[in-house]
Chains A and B, each alone.
Chain A
């Protein structure tokens, strides 16, 4: 008997028991859909983490001054002294805040980073137009600003360089526009204004530095820079370790990755179990089917069906049910993954690869769980089977 015949027979029998088939397919579908969704979410999370890491800058350490006790912030000179460490390629103290930027009639509320020229390097910003802030801007406390692409857009600045805008009512001259960078965990990277740290007092009413970015020259130096930095900080804050924290981006990345991996592993197990349940559904249906069709099997055998013909018939039937479940499940999974992606604001989506794999896999589950019933059918004694 040929496979095409087996397929026709299987389709016939599956079709003639629509209700039962539909229920079994539903079981399989739930399994496949959940696997598809889990894999999509897992992939989406991994991608998200990767892009966030690219958004922050590489080999970056962040010092946060929490401010307790006598010393609640550091000065520009302190910052310089703290990062006098071998293996540091750049460092940038930052005072951040929020301001309302105004240009002509347009206003836009944005975040402001008062920092030094190194800020562009540690945060990996490129300048699209004009220039970044310079040492000399700081030395003379020049009110110059470099704006993010989103700010330029929101303020409807077509040719920003040289224009004047006000930040919290203080007039600043725009000297440059940053190249677009996209979003990361902290939100948009393009919604900010960078000004010289020496002008922070005017625009932010403070010159207390609470954040310090430190970039190590290479991946290998990150750990040694971190320990030297921690040593300096400990001395500076007189052993009050609660006053500051050093935050290693690689550590964070590792943690996030580990959490998301173990999450998706666990969810995949759950999905795998639902797939197992679906497979058992197929096996159950096939066993019932074999029992019900004992006489049919006897008749087929009396007409010359070999064991492998009977086996093929039932295996194809099980694979067909599995395949139908797989197709339905992949479709539902694609929909579900898209929805989950939207909910979690992650790029989770089911690729065609995953969907094809899901269909093939569920056919495999069908064959696997159909094997026992098919074998039982093929081994029936024709005389006994005909007596049914």
Chain B
């Protein structure tokens, strides 16, 4: 299913997202054209309200664009049915959220297993992959803890393990260090860098220039418009 290394994983063409509020239409994403290649580690920076999360939601197939086209891994995804979008989220995207978004009543291992359950994977395979992913983020000894029994940095690592468990071609991280102090924030970034180094495609959203500096490529968004900053592939 994966395309050859270096080929386009994400392709946005003239993509717009508008919100209508009080009868007034407002462009949160303004004709964005973007190409993300297989193996890219790209940061999206911009001030608050510039449209970063909106972009992430569209890229993550959580929300649909108002116009323009979006190819993910060779599939044109805009205007797909709800079910198909769910399948794409399940198989092609791993989300890492600012607030971790773990289910508080489930143990670490059950949280990480969730995407695999929705994929219909067998119990044994689920377990194997779950443990592997948790070991990768250094939490192989915390399988049976509840999220509330872990520190913020550990919870974010659980969330990363959950994103990794399904081995999706794309990792989407929205302010993954936003809720962490500077030390744990560095730990999490080191982990993401390691993942980036292993050839994972990562789109990282941040407003922190120090975090963005660790990405190989940086794009800036302001008022819904995108400009390249560093490491663009022409």
The interface of chain A, by Cβ under 8 A from chain B, is 1-2, 5, 12-13, 16, 295-296, 298-309, 381-383, 386
Tell me if A303 and B83 are in contact (CB < 8 A). no
Residues of chain A within 8 A (CB-CB) of B106 are 12
Please report the C-alpha to C-alpha distance between residue A272 and residue B47 in the assembled complex, in whole angstroms. Answer: 60
B115-123, B127-135, B198-206, B226-234 - interface stretch? B115-123
With known contacts A12-B105, A296-B103, A382-B62, A306–B120 Cβ distance under 8 A: no
Tell me if A301 and B103 are in contact (CB < 8 A). no
Answer yes or no: B57 CB below 8 A from chain A CBs.
Answer: yes
Please report the C-alpha to C-alpha distance between residue A301 and residue B114 in the assembled complex, in whole angstroms. Answer: 10
Residues of chain A within 8 A (CB-CB) of B57 are 383
* Interface 1/0 per residue, B191-217 and A, CB below 8 Å: 000000000000000000000000000
Residues of chain A within 8 A (CB-CB) of B105 are 12-13, 16
Tell me if B60 and A302 are in contact (CB < 8 A). yes
Residues of chain A within 8 A (CB-CB) of B97 are 386
* Interface 1/0 per residue, B45-82 and A, CB below 8 Å: 00000000000010010110000000000000000001
B156, chain A: closest CB distance, angstroms: 14
Tell me if B86 and A305 are in contact (CB < 8 A). yes
Residues of chain B within 8 A (CB-CB) of A2 are 120
Tell me if A304 and B91 are in contact (CB < 8 A). yes
Q: How large is the interface on B (under 10, 10 to 19, 20 to 34, 35 or more residues)?
A: 20 to 34
Tell me if A304 and B63 are in contact (CB < 8 A). no
Please report the C-alpha to C-alpha distance between residue A295 and residue B97 in the assembled complex, in whole angstroms. Answer: 13
Tell me if A303 and B89 are in contact (CB < 8 A). yes
Please report the C-alpha to C-alpha distance between residue A300 and residue B118 in the assembled complex, in whole angstroms. Answer: 9
**Majority SS at the chain A contact face:** helix
Please report the C-alpha to C-alpha distance between residue A302 and residue B90 in the assembled complex, in whole angstroms. Answer: 8
Tell me if B82 and A306 are in contact (CB < 8 A). yes
Tell me if B115 and A383 are in contact (CB < 8 A). no
Residues of chain A within 8 A (CB-CB) of B86 are 301, 304-307, 309
Apart from A12-B106, A383-B62, what 9 extra A-B contacts exist at CB < 8 Å?
A1-B120, A16-B105, A303-B89, A303-B114, A305-B86, A306-B87, A307-B86, A309-B86, A386-B97
The interface of chain B, by Cβ under 8 A from chain A, is 57, 60, 62-63, 82-83, 86-87, 89-91, 95, 97, 101-103, 105-106, 114-115, 117-120, 162, 166
With known contacts A1-B117, A1-B120, A16-B105, A303–B82 Cβ distance under 8 A: no
Residues of chain B within 8 A (CB-CB) of A299 are 101-103
Q: Name B84's closest neighbour in chain A (CB-CB).
A: A306
Q: Which of A303, A381, A383 contacts B90 (CB 8 A)?
A: A303
Tell me if B101 and A304 are in contact (CB < 8 A). no
B120, chain A: closest CB distance, angstroms: 7
Residues of chain B within 8 A (CB-CB) of A386 are 62, 97, 101
Q: Which of A12, A295, A298, A303 contacts B118 (CB 8 A)?
A: A303
Please report the C-alpha to C-alpha distance between residue A307 and residue B57 in the assembled complex, in whole angstroms. Answer: 18
Residues of chain A within 8 A (CB-CB) of B120 are 1-2
Tell me if B89 and A302 are in contact (CB < 8 A). yes
Please report the C-alpha to C-alpha distance between residue A84 and residue B74 in the assembled complex, in whole angstroms. Answer: 103
Please report the C-alpha to C-alpha distance between residue A5 and residue B115 in the assembled complex, in whole angstroms. Answer: 12
Tell me if B117 and A307 are in contact (CB < 8 A). no
- Provide 30 A-B residue pairs closer than 8 Å at the C-beta atoms, listed in order of the A residue: A1-B117, A1-B118, A1-B120, A12-B105, A12-B106, A295-B101, A296-B103, A298-B101, A299-B102, A300-B114, A301-B62, A302-B60, A302-B89, A302-B95, A302-B101, A303-B95, A303-B115, A304-B87, A304-B89, A304-B118, A304-B119, A304-B166, A305-B118, A306-B82, A306-B86, A307-B86, A308-B83, A383-B63, A386-B62, A386-B101
A305, chain B: closest CB distance, angstroms: 5
Please report the C-alpha to C-alpha distance between residue A295 and residue B91 in the assembled complex, in whole angstroms. Answer: 21
Residues of chain A within 8 A (CB-CB) of B87 are 304, 306
Q: Name B94's closest neighbour in chain A (CB-CB).
A: A303
B63, chain A: closest CB distance, angstroms: 5
Q: Name A379's closest neighbour in chain B (CB-CB).
A: B82
Please report the C-alpha to C-alpha distance between residue A2 and residue B114 in the assembled complex, in whole angstroms. Answer: 13
Q: Name B91's closest neighbour in chain A (CB-CB).
A: A304
